Amino acid sequence: MSTPEELKEKFWKAVKSDRTMMLGLAHVDDAHTRPMTAMLDDAGQDGPAHGPIWFFSSVDTDIVRAVTADSRAVATFADKGHGLFACVHGRLVRDDDRAVIERLWNPFIAAWYEGGKTDPKLALLRFDAEEAQIWHDGSSLLAGVKMLLGIDPKQSYRDHVASVRLT
């Protein structure tokens, strides 16, 4: 069993570990999500980072060109083991904060920008995650065994899903 708070903590831990999210703008014609590397900044925090979620991108991508000062966005997430899934809603803005770029910069990001941290094509997006629906895999094998024993698997699965506030 998992409480909503436990699912929220599992979500943040999984994002920090696995990093790939499908990110897109909500309510935009021709909007689609695209895989992006999610970065959490735990500078100045007493525990694990809980947002915002940062994405390095390029000024010539569709999402950077379309983002405004108050863009609504949606991100989906599946951890590498496919045990945790989430659909996250929030606000996406371009925020080329030099201090954040400095803290999050690493060799994997550097490989994408010939001009380094001051590359004119570098854009930093900040996703202020507000709410999420989080699912923890209830194991279809376990559900099958429960059905064979005459137990309704949907009853126990309720503890594996939660709508949570992330702010």
Report pLDDT digits (tens) over 33-77: 999 999 999 865 666 668 899 999 999 999 999 999 889 999 999
Q: Considering the domain 4-165 in this protein, what is its CATH number?
A: 2.30.110.10
More confident residue, 134 or 42: 134
Q: Are 53 and 114 in contact (CB under 8 A)?
A: no
* DSSP track, 113-125: -TTGGG-TTEEEE
- Taken in order 1, 20, 68, 102, is the CA torsion positive or negative? positive
144 alpha carbon, distance to own chain's centre: 31
pTM strictly above 0.85: no
